[in-house]
């Protein structure tokens, strides 16, 4: 139980385009999901907390207009990287909260060329 | 603010060696403590956890004991295998924000040689 999926698992896009990443809780409902960013050989940096039916809460220093988060249902949150640039290339990981625990997705590798 | 500090890696061991990865934390009250494992190219998997002082979390031969007096949660395994090669993250969740965010250490890469 408590499985979280992400789609796509990897994506390559051109600079200036937008890309959407989906995070789904497959066998439970999650009112709260979290989006993290991870650079090579580094720890996870929390970007934002996504709450179903309300606006996401962004961490300090994260551009909310660049990283759009939508949590429209209890099983789906999306992260859209708008006008992507090479510096946005990273590994993006989501997690979904069930009771007091977080369950992580497998991650999405974004490469911006 | 709350923080987690892990020993730096990479850690390289031979198969069947004893493993210790140190983790200390700074937090008010009694946070919940976690160890996560990340295999190459994958997300994080919860390895074990402890929610109160002197609790011992264990899973797959790994153990960690919540030590309030030393604010530590060191990860140990008696005999590592090549398949244990991964990055290990220590994390805490504030006692005052049970549904909230996790604070991660910097991660420790473990490489086990046959």
Other CB atoms within 10 Å distance of the CB of residue A86: 9
Instruction: List pLDDT tens digits, range A65-91.
Output: 999 999 989 999 999 999 999 999 999
3-state secondary structure of A104: strand
Q: Quick check: B98 pLDDT over 60?
A: no
pLDDT(A20) > 90: yes
- pLDDT, residue A17, reads 97
In the prediction, which pLDDT does B101 show? 82
Cβ-based contacts under 8 A for chains A and B: 43
**Looking at beta carbons, which pairs linking A11-17 to residues 24 or more positions away fall under 8 Å?**
A11/A108, A11/A109, A11/A110, A11/A111, A12/A111, A12/A112, A12/A113, A13/A84, A13/A110, A13/A111, A13/A112, A13/A113, A14/A112, A14/A113, A15/A84, A15/A85, A15/A86, A15/A112, A15/A113, A16/A83, A16/A84, A16/A85, A17/A83, A17/A84
- B80 within 8 A of B13, measured Cβ to Cβ: yes
| Alpha-carbon distance B104 to nearest alpha carbon in chain A (angstroms) | 7
Mean pLDDT over A41-50 rounds to 88
Q: Is A39's pLDDT higher than 90?
A: no
| DSSP state, residue A28 | S
Three-class SS state of A112: strand
Percentage, residues of chain A above pLDDT 90: 80
Q: How confident is the model at residue B99 (pLDDT cuts 50, 70, 90)?
A: low
Residue with tokens 């190459």: B40
> Are the Cβ atoms of A100 and B104 closer than 8 angstroms?
no
Q: What is the pLDDT of residue B66?
A: 97
Closest in B36, B44, B99 to A97, CB measured = B99
Chain A contacts of B104, Cβ < 8 Å? 43-44
The pLDDT of residue B49 is above 70: yes
B9-22 residue pLDDT tens: 899 999 999 999 99
Say if the Cβ atoms of A43 and B107 lie within 8 Å: yes
pLDDT grade, residue A101 (50/70/90)? confident
Distance to chain B for A28, nearest Cα, Å: 16
* Interchain CB contact of B9 with A (< 8 Å): no
CA distance A9 to A108: 4
Query: Cβ contact (<8 Å) for B43 and A105?
Result: yes
Enumerate the residues of chain B whose CB falls inside 8 A of the CB of residue A26.
none
B41·A42 Cβ contact <8 A: no
Q: How far is A106 from chain B (nearest CA, A)?
A: 4
Q: pLDDT tens-digit profile of B101-114?
A: 899 999 999 999 99
- Report the C-alpha gap between B35 and B20 in whole angstroms: 13
Among B10, B35, B43, B46, the residue to mutate for chain A (most A Cβ within 10 A): B43
């Amino acid at each position: 139980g408590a499985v979280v999926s992400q789609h796509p698992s990897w994506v390559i896009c051109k600079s200036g385009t937008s890309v959407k990443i989906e995070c789904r809780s497959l066998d439970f409902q999650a009112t709260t999901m979290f989006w993290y960013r991870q650079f090579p050989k580094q720890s996870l940096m929390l970007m934002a907390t996504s709450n179903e039916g309300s606006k996401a809460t962004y961490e300090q220093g994260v551009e909310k207009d660049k990283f759009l988060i939508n949590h429209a249902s209890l099983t789906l949150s999306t992260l859209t990287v708008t006008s992507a640039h090479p510096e946005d290339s990273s590994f993006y990981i989501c997690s979904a909260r069930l009771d007091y625990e977080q369950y992580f997705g497998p991650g999405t590798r974004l490469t911006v060329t | 603010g709350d923080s987690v500090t892990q020993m730096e890696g990479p850690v390289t061991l031979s198969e069947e060696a004893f493993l210790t990865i140190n983790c200390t934390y700074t937090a008010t009250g009694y946070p919940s403590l976690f160890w996560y494992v990340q295999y190459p190219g994958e997300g994080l998997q919860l390895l074990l956890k402890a929610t109160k002082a002197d609790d011992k979390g264990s899973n797959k031969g790994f153990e960690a004991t919540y030590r309030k007096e030393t604010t530590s949660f060191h990860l140990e395994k008696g005999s590592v295998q090549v398949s244990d090669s991964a990055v290990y993250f220590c994390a805490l969740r504030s006692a005052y924000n049970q549904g909230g965010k996790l604070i991660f250490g910097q991660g420790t890469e473990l490489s086990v040689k046959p």
